[in-house]
């Protein structure tokens, strides 16, 4: 698990952190003499939220930005807790045969990821797995949208999603992917026991390699004729079908 401060840079990134996640912003650095009115807005909002603000020269901003385009604004930010894939095995083991893992294959929109994390936390999910690359990470907008879930449900960042799915299978976890182009229904799956539910990104759904590592593929029946649901809505439907099946009696 890691939880540490890091520097975020750029007007939009700093403004979002100050607006949506002020409690995790330790200080804001702004370029002295900057004429951009948004810099003044960030300073005003940060001071209103009692965040330390310093006006510094461009060289100081260049130093903390680490090569990122800072546009005259940077902030020291407490990153959300994340786990590496090697931590996942212990989480599954601790679930005692009833692990419920959500795997998101390339979600790009931070509002969608935040909503998925909120559903996962409400469903009592064991963990949420996201790729380290080519997917949105847990940023200020995600944390705001998740209503706190981003800091309560374990988020595992996987370097190689296919390998992570194989490792889950070796632990006896059944991998069920959701896809709109198959005949099997979600409601025909047995979602008790150790289960991982895999959903794809907004544009392309599950990637080919991810599909190939699923034990089964199923769709959410939609009598209304739509071809697909928003990924966060589909996540909620799938997770709470698992919850329904696991209820006693």
pLDDT mean values, one per 10 residues, the chain (249 residues): 73 88 93 94 97 96 90 90 92 98 96 97 98 90 86 94 97 97 96 98 92 97 84 98 93
Judge if 40 and 159 occupy the same domain: no
Judge if 104 and 51 occupy the same domain: no
Among 78, 103, 135, where does a domain finish?
A: 78
Judge if 25 and 140 occupy the same domain: no
The continuous run of DSSP H or E covering 88 comes out as helix 88-94
Q: Is 102 annotated as a binding residue?
A: no
Q: In what side-by-side order are the strands of the sheet with 25-31?
A: 5-9, 73-78, 25-31, 52-56
* CA separation for the pair 194, 151 (Å, rounded): 23
Judge if 110 and 216 occupy the same domain: yes
Q: Is 168 annotated as a binding residue?
A: no
CATH assignment of the domain containing 117: 3.40.1280.10
Residue identified by tokens 């840079």 is 9
Judge if 160 and 216 occupy the same domain: yes
DSSP state of 2: B
Judge if 101 and 195 occupy the same domain: yes
Judge if 219 and 163 occupy the same domain: yes
Among 42, 62, 78, where does a domain finish?
A: 78
Total length of the chain: 249
CATH assignment of the domain containing 35: 3.30.1330.30
**CB 48, CB 41: distance < 8 Å:** no
- Residue 3 has a pLDDT of 53
Domain count along the chain: 2
Q: Is 97 annotated as a binding residue?
A: no
Helical segments of 95-160, H only? 110-122, 140-145
- Residue 32 has a pLDDT of 96
Judge if 177 and 197 occupy the same domain: yes
**Sign of the CA dihedral with 90 first, then 231, 147, and 43 last:** positive
Judge if 33 and 112 occupy the same domain: no
- Residue 70 has a pLDDT of 94
> Could you give the count of Cα atoms lying within 13 Å of 47 in the half-sphere of its Cβ?
10
Judge if 73 and 93 occupy the same domain: no
Judge if 97 and 157 occupy the same domain: yes
- Residue 4 has a pLDDT of 67
Helical segments of 189-230, H only? 208-212
Beta bridge partners of 192: none
- Residue 144 has a pLDDT of 80
* CA separation for the pair 108, 103 (Å, rounded): 14
Q: Are strands 73-78 and 5-9 parallel, antiparallel or unpaired?
A: antiparallel
- Tell me which residue of 141, 91, 142 sits closest to 113, measured CA to CA: 142
* CA separation for the pair 197, 187 (Å, rounded): 13
Other C-beta atoms closer than 10 Å to the C-beta of 118 total 21
* CA separation for the pair 211, 33 (Å, rounded): 53
- Residue 2 has a pLDDT of 47
Among 78, 98, 127, where does a domain finish?
A: 78
- Residue 228 has a pLDDT of 78
Judge if 238 and 115 occupy the same domain: yes
Domain hosting 208: range is: 83-246
């Amino acid at each position: 698990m890691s939880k540490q401060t890091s520097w975020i840079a750029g007007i939009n990134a700093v403004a979002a952190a100050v607006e949506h996640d002020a409690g995790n912003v330790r200080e804001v650095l702004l370029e002295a003499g900057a004429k951009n009115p948004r810099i003044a807005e960030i300073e005003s909002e940060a001071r209103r939220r009692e965040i330390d603000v310093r006006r510094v020269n461009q060289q100081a901003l260049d130093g903390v930005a680490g090569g990122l385009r800072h546009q005259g604004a940077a902030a020291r930010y407490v990153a959300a807790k994340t786990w590496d894939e090697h931590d996942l095995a212990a989480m599954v083991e601790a679930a005692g045969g009833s692990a419920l893992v959500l795997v998101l294959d390339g979600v790009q929109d931070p509002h969608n990821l935040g909503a998925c994390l909120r559903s996962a936390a409400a469903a009592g999910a064991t963990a949420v797995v996201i790729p380290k690359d080519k997917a949105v990470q847990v940023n200020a907008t995600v944390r705001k949208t998740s209503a706190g879930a981003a800091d309560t449900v374990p988020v595992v960042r996987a370097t190689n999603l296919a390998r992570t799915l194989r490792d889950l299978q070796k632990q006896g976890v059944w991998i069920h992917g959701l896809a709109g182009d198959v005949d099997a229904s979600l409601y025909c799956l047995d979602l008790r026991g150790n289960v991982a539910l895999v959903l794809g990104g907004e544009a392309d759904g599950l990637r080919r390699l991810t599909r190939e590592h699923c034990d089964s593929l199923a769709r959410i029946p939609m009598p209304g004729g739509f071809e697909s649901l928003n990924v966060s809505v589909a996540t909620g439907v799938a997770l709470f079908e698992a919850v329904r099946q696991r209820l006693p009696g």
